[in-house]
Each structure stands twice: as structure tokens, then as C-alpha cells.
Amino acid sequence: MEKHIGNCSCGDIEFYFNNDPINSIFCYCTECQSLTGSDKWFGLWVPRDNFKFTKGTPLSYMRVGDSGKKVNYHFCGTCSTVLCAEVTAGNFYSVSATSLKDNKFTPKMSIYASSAPSWAIFPSDVPKFDALPPGMGG
Ligand SMILES: [Zn+2]
Ligand SMILES: [Zn+2]
């Protein structure tokens, strides 16, 4: 079983998840833009049971997602790095790929492309969806 380790910028918060993510996405929704100060969030979707915080206690911020269910963001109260978003509708964490110590994952799809700013950059070799791919809920 492979263990992937990550932390926030200042090191107060550490986490790990087991096994490879079930999906890896560039998300261009407006929430991810304000969260990252960028055109997108690079999220690794990890089933809730595979993810654990191992050091520190992150702060949380909740919003209601498109599904009507909660999305809980967990971030460091010291350096404000957002480590993951708990997507309760799908029972997974969208873990920030950039907070991994050694990220070997690459995006498999671009989602919420219709919300992207005009200057957004899309990888040319992965499928692009206006919102979510068919059958993936919302
Ligand atoms: Zn921190
Ligand atoms: Zn998003």
C-alpha cells in the first residue's frame, strides 16, 4: 500500500493518504479560483477512509456545493494553505496536489471549464468538461 505524505507551507499541518487517488482534476470553478488566487485547483480525489491528518488541527470553512451538500475546506490557521476539500456528496477529499511532498500525479480531466476566466490555461491532452463529466453527479 503506497502512502502519500503532504503538509502546509509552514509545516504545522501534516497529512497522508493511502493508495492512488480515484481521480485527479483541474477544477476551474469560481470557488477554486478565489481559493487559489489562480485559474484552477489541482485536486486529487481520495476516498474519505484513505485520508488522515497526522499533525496539527486545520481550520475549516463550509460551503454548500452544486449538489446541495456540504463541501468542507480544511486549511492551516497559520499559513492559510488549503490542504483539502471534503466533498460530502461524493464521500471523498479533494486533496491539494501542490501540498504533497512528492507529487507524481498529473491531471486526468478539466472540470467546470465553463466558469474559467478568459486567460485560463488548459492542458491540451486531457478531456475538458463544462461542469462535471456525465454520471459524476455534482
Ligand atoms: Zn501552515
Ligand atoms: Zn472547484
CATH 3.40.190.10 fits 3-114, yes or no: no
The residues spanned by each domain of the chain are 3-114
Q: Which ligand is nearest to the CA of 14?
A: 1
Which H or E run includes 43?
strand 41-47
What are the tens digits of pLDDT across the range 59-96?
A: 999 999 888 999 999 999 999 999 999 999 999 999 99
Q: Which ligand is nearest to the CA of 63?
A: 2
Q: How far is the CA of 42 from the centre of ligand 2 (A)?
A: 9
State residue 27's pLDDT score: 96
Of the candidates 77, 70, 63, the one whose C-alpha atom is nearest the C-alpha of residue 31 is: 63
Q: Which ligand is nearest to the CA of 82?
A: 1
Q: How far is the CA of 41 from the centre of ligand 1 (A)?
A: 18
Q: Which ligand is nearest to the CA of 6?
A: 1
Contact 55, 76 (CB under 8 A): no
Q: How far is the CA of 11 from the centre of ligand 2 (A)?
A: 25
State residue 65's pLDDT score: 86
Contact 78, 12 (CB under 8 A): yes
**CA distances, 111 to each of 11, 13, 37, 114, 117 (Å):** 30, 28, 17, 8, 13
What are the tens digits of pLDDT across the range 7-19?
A: 999 999 999 999 9
- Ion ligand 1 neighbours (CB, 5 A) are 8, 10, 12, 76, 78-79
